[in-house]
Amino acid sequence: MAISRDTLTAVAFAVDGRRIGQAEQHDTLAERNLRFKPGDVLAVKVRRSEVPAGSDIYQAFEVPYQKWMRVLDALNWIAENAAADLAFRWFCGSKMCGTCAVRMNGREVLACWEAVEPDMIIEPLRNLPVIRDLVVDRTRYEEKVASLEPWIERREPYGAFPEPLTHKQMKDASKALDCISCMCCYSACPVIGLGNLTDFAGPAPLVQLGQTALDPRNSPEKVRRSLEQSGIFNCVSCYKCEEVCPASIPIVSRIIEPLKAKAAQLVPEMAINSFALREVVASRGRVDPTELVLRVQGLRSLRNPRRIWRLLTRGKINPIRTLLRLKTAAAAAASHLLRDGTGKS
Amino acid sequence: MRVVTTDVAVIGGGAAGCYAALNLSKRGLKPLIICKGLVGKSGASLFAGNLVISGRALGNSEENARNTAEFLIKYHNQFLIDQSWAQRCGQFIEKVYYPELEEAGLYFRRDDSGEMVTSPGKIRSIAANIQGNSGVPFMDLRRKQIIKAGIARMEETVATALLRNSDGSVGGIFCLNYLTGEYMVVLARAVILATGYSDRLHIRSTGTREMSGDGIAMAWRAGATLLNMEMQWWHTNDLAHPPSWQRMQIYPNPMLGSEKSARILNSAGKEFFNQQKDDPLAFGPYTVQLKALVKQVRAGKARYEGGYYAGFDNCDPAEVETYTTYAKTFHQLGLPFPATMAETAVSSHYRQGGIDVDTNTMRSSIPGLYAAGGVGGHSNGLIGLATYDGRVVAEGVVQDIANLKAPSVSQSAIDAECLRLDHLRSSFGDGSTPAKLKEKLRTVMWEKAGVEKNASDLRSALDDIEQIRADLLPGMKISNTGKSVNYEWLDAIDLVNMIDVCELVIHSSLERKESRGPFIRQDFPLTDNDNWLAANILKKSGNGLRFEKRPYGLPLFAPGFSTKDNLEVAW
């Protein structure tokens, strides 16, 4: 039954988006679970919301390691033995309820799921108001999800159980259905971090929407209405959400990108930037910022001469080059790919 | 103090509570859900791994249909069940439950060609999206249906007492929103308790954090009749480490799309349970596993706390990973899969018993108070059964509502509850914290009222619990005096309920003088159908409690023997 450390480090390690860099640093899950001995002491700092004047907002604890210890076990140990008043939310302890997410050493983790580290700084999630210590107010997320109305409306009345449906048709929706709405992605999202500057719904609400919007049983009319509320084109595809998702949902590639494609089809006016960018690249073989700005903003872009001047002097736009449209090999290739090839513009 | 008036207060946001609220709302009544956790994100419903096909649904044969009913009555309930309720429930699952869930959008897992993926065996099951995680999309759908129907909900709000009308009927509840620290009174013509099966009364339990026997304790204090409180079910193969994973199960059920599934080895590496060989009805072999484990423990080859191992080393890993989540634990620990067998331990799981109800209406013994799902004492758990109860209770309330009085709860009862909670929040003794006392109580339950029980240990447990109640509770120490998100305060409130419920469990365990399924008495090893094929009914009386027996009818299935060594009985 005993498994030696050598056997474990020899286990083939699959690199995916979430694990990039970890293999190179020998930071495998096997390593992370086996680097402690019972009796080792972890140095844990927890961000508190109320502290007596003069004391550090990060309260330090020394926590004895227990076999296969999770971050949640460390928090429970602290609450039982060192700081009875520490507030943190959890219900199931087995990656199903999605309520115990925190930031550990700057990274969003599900406390019940993540292995402890020798030195840990534990903080509440970002982008949601803190109620106390590690407990955040989920209302903002809940309201957004409700406004997207993530349920299906059928065009045809339901027949009988089981209805005709294949897993192929449900492939992307099925990934979205793994979501436990833990808010890790919502906390990691830099666009949500911009606050009210955009109307972006955020990754977690979009995954919730994807459960029904990517379901072939849903009516396109219903999907269109939901997508209109989503601000989806504010997503910058940075993959932070995908990187932190404890349920390993490919949030950008399998949920947000397919939703963007649906939005482009059902609500084309939302996708004006994407269409313009594609058109510019197809015709020029490169991104031409001047044309991009003109296509997206039209004559409105001329209303701000100071900004035009700034862009000109800093070399961000070059109207002469824009006017002299050169026929380059890149342009021909781009045109072939984007217009004549697989994806018709 | 906020006072909210509604037609029906539903306490609990799991399968039974949500479905009751949806049905009440459809029937034109105004329900309000009060949930100690988050609706659809706390409680046992979330853990539904797969969904049993009952009756003739999905190409089930007559034989499959019969097996499913037999399984529910024998292996799930050891005959302590109203068999006609079970029959009605099976029909509901076949005719209403699956079509309704699918119409609402629940995705039952297909293969690429569109065939529904089922598990093999004498009883078949399917999964919502993926086996092992069915409860997540299932309850997520319920949450969204509640939102869509505009049903009001109060979350992270604990109901602390049932409020009675002047005639003794239940007319409302007192509750505390523990995020804000605000007290609230909900006045209602009917109160439905739907607080679930799995309370965390033992040091290892499968229940979610907030489950502390509140429903049972409140009903008991209000004078409701209970039954079969001793009939505790156990998980035999949850991970032994770490502590927070005591509910992380090496699922023993047949697997979707595979002929194989998990097995268990003793400390010497010898197999003592293999689902394909040792599970007579090939579904949910919990009690079968437990009995096999008891024999290993008695032979010194396993302990209830660990020292035995479970896993899928006999399976094709690709098969396990296609339709189930069962490999996730191994991967997360960096353990080679499926070669590793993980150390496992026992966790207390569902309680078969609970509040005594009329299974046609879910009325309790107190007018205005209803119980649905796991907190009721009429069946052990499956998410389909809890859902069916949600429908029955809604119909029961609709039927009664005209005759139920407008609430007339007394201000003095409300004041008394305020005072009780304020007092708990100002526990400034120099003793243990509420969390430590909870742990102490759970340890007593684990050591003296665990898998194997006997009269002397049970009596000693009663003494220990009395000491916690009389000596330790008054000296309890709470460091946080604040009202907002004060989990210490919540622990103190929980503790009072847990003490009451633990005592009732132990008294009931002493009363049932036999062994039956997962209820194992060392001093009464026989299953005694002559005397104990009966509900062990617990009633509050002037000076404490008294027991009564009520035999069960056997219209469909009967055990076919009088007495037999429980460990040799298949179920």
- Residues 6+ away with beta carbon under 8 Å from A132: A49, A50, A87, B482, B484, B485
Query: For residue B544, what pLDDT is reported?
Result: 92
A304 pLDDT band, cuts 50/70/90, is confident
Q: Which of residues 96-125 of B touch A (CB under 8 A)?
A: 98-99, 102-105, 107-114, 116
Domains and CATH numbers, chain A: 6-35 (no CATH), 36-135 (3.10.20.30), 145-156+166-266 (1.10.1060.10), 271-340 (no CATH)
- Which segments of B449-564 does DSSP mark as H helices, in order? 455-467, 487-511, 529-532
Sign, CA dihedral B276-B281-B286-B292, equals negative
Q: Do the beta carbons of residue B157 and residue B350 sit within 8 Å?
A: no
Tens digits of per-residue pLDDT, B55-69? 999 999 999 999 999
DSSP assignments along B130-181, one per residue: SBT-THHHHHHHHHHHHHHTT-EEE-SEEEEEEEE-TTS-EEEEEEEETTTT
Inform me whether the C-beta atom of residue A97 falls under 8 Å from chain B C-beta atoms. yes
Angle of helix A257-266 versus helix A220-228 axis, rounded to 10: 100
Tens digits of per-residue pLDDT, B352-373? 999 999 999 999 999 999 999 9
Inform me whether the C-beta atom of residue A90 falls under 8 Å from chain B C-beta atoms. yes
Tell me the longest C-alpha to C-alpha distance in chain A.
Answer: 74
**CATH classification of B412-534 is 1.20.58.100, yes or no?**
yes
Query: For residue A166, what pLDDT is reported?
Result: 98
Task: Give CA angle at B83 (B80, B86), nearest 5°.
Answer: 105
Architecture category of domain B2-231+350-403 in CATH: 3-Layer(bba) Sandwich (3.50)
Length of chain B: 571
Q: Which of residues 195-254 of B touch A (CB under 8 A)?
A: 208-210, 239, 241-248
Q: Do the beta carbons of residue A176 and residue A255 sit within 8 Å?
A: yes
Q: Residue B112: which of A80, A167, A177 has the nearest Cβ?
A: A167
Q: Which amino acid is at A184?
A: C
Query: For residue A12, what pLDDT is reported?
Result: 40
Q: Is the pLDDT of residue A343 over 70?
A: no
Tens digits of per-residue pLDDT, A270-298? 999 999 999 999 988 888 888 998 898 88
CA proximity to B215, closest of B205, B224, B206: B224
Shortest alpha-carbon distance between residue B34 and chain A (Å): 16
CA proximity to B120, closest of B323, B353, B344: B323
CA proximity to A48, closest of A93, A94, A82: A82
Query: For residue A35, what pLDDT is reported?
Result: 86
Q: Is the pLDDT higher at B281 or at B508?
A: B508
H or E stretch at B310 = strand B308-311
| Predicted ipTM of the assembly | 0.97
Which chain B residue lies closest to A161 (C-alpha atoms)? B99
Q: Looking at residues A181-199, what average pLDDT do you find? A: 96
Q: Residue A91: which of B41, B99, B485 has the nearest Cβ?
A: B41
Tens digits of per-residue pLDDT, B160-192? 999 999 999 999 999 999 999 999 999 999 999
A328 pLDDT band, cuts 50/70/90, is confident
Name the token pair of B1.
């103090």
Inform me whether the C-beta atom of residue A200 falls under 8 Å from chain B C-beta atoms. no
Name the token pair of B90.
């099976």
Shortest alpha-carbon distance between residue B361 and chain A (Å): 28
pTM metric for this prediction: 0.95
Over the range B518-532, which residues count as b (16 or more CB within 10 Å of their CB) and which as e?
bbbbeebebbbbeeb
Test mutation, B153, B244, B305, B427, chain A, max A CBs within 10 A: B244
Inform me whether the C-beta atom of residue B266 falls under 8 Å from chain A C-beta atoms. no
- Give chain A positions within 8 Å (CB) of B334: 8, 11, 28-34
* Cα–Cα distance for residue pair B64/A163, rounded to 1 Å: 22
Tens digits of per-residue pLDDT, A63-93? 999 999 999 999 999 999 999 999 999 999 9
Phi-psi region of B507 (alpha: psi -120 to 50; beta: other; left: phi over 0): alpha
Q: Work out the percent of chain B whose per-residue pLDDT is above 90.
A: 96
A98 with B41: Cβ contact below 8 A: yes
Which chain A residue lies closest to B332 (C-alpha atoms)? A29
Query: For residue B299, what pLDDT is reported?
Result: 98
- Residues 6+ away with beta carbon under 8 Å from B442: B200, B201, B202, B203, B205
CA proximity to B170, closest of B181, B186, B184, B182: B186
CATH 3.50.50.60 domain position(s) in chain B = 2-231+350-403
Query: For residue A319, what pLDDT is reported?
Result: 86
Inform me whether the C-beta atom of residue A4 falls under 8 Å from chain B C-beta atoms. no
Q: Looking at residues B271-294, what average pLDDT do you find? A: 92
- Which segments of B38-134 does DSSP mark as H helices, in order? 62-70, 83-92, 98-104
φ/ψ of residue A182, rounded to 5: -90, -10
Inform me whether the C-beta atom of residue A160 falls under 8 Å from chain B C-beta atoms. yes
H or E stretch at B193 = strand B182-193
Tens digits of per-residue pLDDT, B251-260? 999 999 999 9
A92 with B335: Cβ contact below 8 A: no
Inform me whether the C-beta atom of residue A82 falls under 8 Å from chain B C-beta atoms. no
B179 with A131: Cβ contact below 8 A: yes
Q: Which of residues 239-268 of A touch B (CB under 8 A)?
A: none
Query: For residue B543, what pLDDT is reported?
Result: 78
Q: Looking at residues B18-27, what average pLDDT do you find? A: 98
Which chain A residue lies closest to B115 (C-alpha atoms)? A166
A345 pLDDT band, cuts 50/70/90, is very low
Task: Give CA angle at B222 (B535, B386), nearest 5°.
Answer: 55
Test mutation, A32, A92, A217, chain B, max B CBs within 10 A: A92
Query: For residue B405, what pLDDT is reported?
Result: 86
A131 with B333: Cβ contact below 8 A: no
Query: For residue B247, what pLDDT is reported?
Result: 94
Q: Which of residues 104-143 of A touch B (CB under 8 A)?
A: 112-113, 115, 131-133, 135, 138
Q: Is the pLDDT of residue A19 over 60?
A: no
* Cα–Cα distance for residue pair B450/A183, rounded to 1 Å: 38
- Name the burial class of residue B408, with classes exposed (0-12), middle (13-18) and buried (19+) by CB atoms within 10 angstroms of its CB: middle
B208 with A11: Cβ contact below 8 A: no
- Residues 6+ away with beta carbon under 8 Å from B262: B237, B250, B251, B252, B275, B310, B311, B312, B315, B326
B334 with A32: Cβ contact below 8 A: yes
B242 preceded by a cis bond (ω within 30 of 0): yes
Task: Give CA angle at B273 (B268, B277), nearest 5°.
Answer: 135
Q: Is the pLDDT of residue A213 over 70?
A: yes
B331 with A29: Cβ contact below 8 A: yes
Instruction: Put the strands of the sheet holding B342-351 in their side by side order.
Output: B232-239, B342-351, B308-311, B263-265, B271-274
Tens digits of per-residue pLDDT, B99-144? 999 999 999 999 999 999 999 989 999 999 999 999 999 999 999 9
A162 preceded by a cis bond (ω within 30 of 0): yes
CATH 1.20.58.100 domain position(s) in chain B = 412-534
Q: Do the beta carbons of residue B176 and residue B2 sit within 8 Å?
A: no
Tens digits of per-residue pLDDT, B59-96? 999 999 999 999 999 999 999 999 999 999 999 999 99
Strands (E), A111-155: 119-123, 130-132, 135-136
Q: Do the beta carbons of residue B52 and residue B108 sit within 8 Å?
A: no
Tens digits of per-residue pLDDT, B409-466? 999 999 999 999 999 999 999 999 999 999 999 999 999 999 999 999 999 999 999 9
- Residues 6+ away with beta carbon under 8 Å from B243: A66, A73, A76
CA proximity to B379, closest of B366, B370, B388, B367: B388
Tens digits of per-residue pLDDT, B290-332? 999 999 999 999 999 999 999 999 999 999 999 999 999 999 9
Q: Which amino acid is at B202?
A: H
DSSP state of A19: G
- Which segments of chain A does DSSP mark as H helices, in order? 5-9, 29-34, 71-81, 139-148, 171-176, 184-188, 203-213, 220-228, 240-244, 257-266, 272-284, 289-297, 305-313, 319-323, 329-335
Tens digits of per-residue pLDDT, B216-274? 999 999 999 999 999 999 999 999 999 999 999 999 999 999 999 999 999 999 999 99
Q: Which of residues 516-535 of B touch A (CB under 8 A)?
A: none
